[in-house]
Amino acid sequence: MLDISEIMTPRRSLVIIGPGSTIDEARRTMAAHAIRHLPVLDDAGKLVGLVSQTDVLVAGHGDSRMVREIMVREIDTVDERSNVRHAALLMFRQKRSCLPVTRDGELRGIVTDSDFLGVAITLMEQLEVVEPEPEEVEATDGALS
């Protein structure tokens, strides 16, 4: 089984924001990087929240309020050593579109629904390689009679 660390976006590639940033800064950051989620880290680098594109859209344009006012503070996280199935079930049951990935309380990356879609596509492609096409099954069935 795959570990979540194999499909997540690692910390070094994440775009993050601070709780004192404005909502408009968050909006511009998301647009500039074509992303839908921003982990919110305090000055010590501790994960204190998560802001999503939906949070920013609901806040509206021209908003100079701080990210800390709209960020989600109660965040579900997954350990980087967790398996992909565990993380997928957590996201599905909690209706989350992303999960911060941690190890010993430290942010190590993020996994999103898009990452799981990539896994699903890979699995479907692998199945197509090993499963015979319907025409092949019919031809084989006829040859056995």
Segment 119-138 mean pLDDT = 73
Give the chain's domains with CATH numbers: 4-144 (3.10.580.10)
Is 139's pLDDT higher than 60?
Answer: no
Q: What sign has the CA pseudo-torsion 63, 65, 66, 70?
A: negative
For the chain, the average pLDDT equals: 87
41-90 pLDDT, tens digit per residue, is 999 999 999 999 999 999 887 768 999 999 999 999 999 999 899 999 99
Least confidently predicted of 13-17, 55-59, 122-126 = 122-126
Cβ contacts of 123-128, under 8 Å, gap ≥ 24: none
pLDDT band of 2, cuts 50, 70, 90: confident
